[in-house]
Amino acid sequence: MSIENGLSFVLTDESRKLEAQFVPNKMNKFEFTVASVKQSLSEENFLHLFISENSLFQLVRSCNTANEPFKIEIGELREASGEIVVSKDEMSATLIYSPAFGGKTLTLADVHQCLQEAGITYGLISDQEIEDVLNKDQISELIIAKGLPPVAGTDAQFESLIPQRIKEPCAEQDTVDFRDLGEIVTVEEGQMVMRRIPAKRGQEGCNVFGHLIDCYHGLDTPFSSNKKGVNIALDDNDYLCSAIVGTPVLVPHGVIVLPILTLKCVDLKSGNVNFPGGVVVQGDVENEMSVYALNDLVIEGNVENANLECGGCLTVFGSIQNSRLKADGDVNLYGGINASRVISHSSIEVMFSEYSDIEAGIDITVCDYALNSALFAGNKITIGQKGKRKSLVGGVAWAMLEVKAAVFGIASEVKTYVRVGSNPHIQKKLDELNNSLLANDKEQNRIKKLLEHISAKKAKTTDLHELTELTNLNEKLELTFHKFISENEFYNKELTTLYANLALIKYAKVIAEQRVNIGSEIQISQAILKTDKPLGRSVFRENRGEIEVVNKLSALLGNSALDKKR
């Protein structure tokens, strides 16, 4: 229809496109705006159609500048549409809704028809929620159906009810007299030692198509069949209780209770002791006697020329003379040692050490002093935290990261060796692993050549018997070859761990809290410093292949250049 100022609108029947036609009126120039064009569209009942805003702006610009007639498409009649999109995991379905612009609207029945055709039957939202979206005049997305995710069950869990071990601190006095057994965790007959939390079944899920989704049902593992020293509680099958007085030990899915053997002393009358549990000796371990305990071992008296070994922690309250001690756990020697050897895979704490060898996988702590002793620790050595002398005199102290003492050496210039920045055990293990890798590589190359030789022979032979033998030999060699590959992977992992430990060596240091006497020799990695004059409170570090001595007090004040020696 034509309106004044030369602008008219036509809705085509076939394409249902809205077309604007303009014929310039040179006699009566009119300034068009978007608002005026929309007003014209409203008056002609076209504003309910879909109108392109970009085309509308272009129309206004063209009408204000054109000198010739033109036509431009500015909109169209659109019907409402709805599309159902299902997520990849089939746990949700989304309705993508486009409203009608002058065309047919989308009804609730149409949406249900789409859902039915898509096969969506589970987790549908309410009809009211769907209609709220259909009443909107803009493109909308609505999650129209949600599946139910499966819920995984949980395995049976085992909760230890064993009391925590309490470790008494080392006393400051030279002599310590602890007579109670608080150092060892014990349980009484009938005491609960473990609780089993039963497995929980999972909950199956369902996707939007109504298909069930499997879930994991927790594994209801029972208590271990090894119930040595324990029983299932009579009033609750999910509890274990001790059947005896003894030492509890955790095992997979259970606890066993080992009896504690208590002896007044170990002598010729009792004989050597080899016991699969904890051992407490209330008196002395006498000359040439041996005690072995599978778990913890406590000696309340003295030990002289004896052998002690245990799979747990070792505690001796009395003095130790000319004896050999070995433990997998921590070692606590409250009375000091003389002319003895002590080995622990864990840490060792001793009141004092004279003419003895001490070897710990982790730390060594000498509360008072070490005299002419050999101390080897995988981590740190600390001397003189308590006591009066607080010194390392003679012998050697060797740790990977740190050796700390109040005083190194003595005024009489006794040779005292201190070494950090290396670990002989790690180096030995590195050499063993590298040799194993070389041997494995050599064997792998040998097997490769054999496999190539067998492959060539199999290709040439026509003898069925020989072919069978060659095939069997080939299979055995391949199994051996893969065995060497697996071993190499294990060795390389071990090497990675060891090299990571060695990387910490750059932080190695020696700390003298009071002084360093003449005759002390300090080695950090490959650098060596021999003291030719007394030094005060100092920290020793390796710096570019040489030892740097820094007065500790000055270092704390931030002036590390003071008292510096190369």
Q: Tokens 């949700």 identify what position?
A: 92
DSSP secondary structure code for residue 288 in this structure: T
Length of the chain: 566
Instruction: For 304-336, give one letter per residue: b (16+ CB within 10 A) or e.
Output: bbbbbbbbbbbbbbbbbbbbbbbbbbbbbbbbb
DSSP-assigned beta bridge partners for residue 360: 344, 377
Task: Say which residues have a Cβ less than 8 Å from residue 468's Cβ, sequence separation at least 6.
Answer: none
- The pLDDT of residue 314: 96
- The pLDDT of residue 176: 36
DSSP string, 364-423: EEESS-EES-EEEESSEEEE-SSSS--EEESSEEEESSEEEEEEES-TT---EEEEES--
Q: H-helix or E-strand containing 513?
A: strand 509-516
10: three-class secondary structure by DSSP: strand
Structure-block tokens of residue 550: 């820094």
pTM here is 0.50
Tell me if 417 sits within 8 A of 521, measured CB to CB.
yes
- The pLDDT of residue 48: 79
CA–CA separation, 348 and 379 (whole Å): 12
Number of neighbours of residue 448 by Cβ within 10 angstroms: 12
Per-residue pLDDT of the chain (566 residues; tens, 9 = 90+): 445 578 888 888 777 888 888 888 777 677 888 888 888 888 888 887 888 888 889 988 888 888 888 988 888 888 888 889 999 999 999 999 888 888 888 888 889 999 999 999 999 999 998 888 888 878 888 899 999 999 999 999 999 999 875 555 544 444 333 323 334 577 888 999 999 999 999 999 999 999 999 999 889 999 999 998 999 999 999 999 999 888 788 899 999 988 888 889 999 888 898 887 889 999 999 999 999 998 899 999 999 999 999 999 999 999 999 999 999 999 999 989 999 999 999 999 999 999 999 999 899 999 999 999 999 998 899 998 776 778 999 999 999 889 999 999 988 888 999 999 877 667 777 888 889 999 999 999 999 889 888 888 888 888 888 888 888 898 888 888 888 888 888 888 888 877 776 666 778 899 999 999 998 999 998 889 998 888 889 999 988 888 888 865 444 334 333 333 33
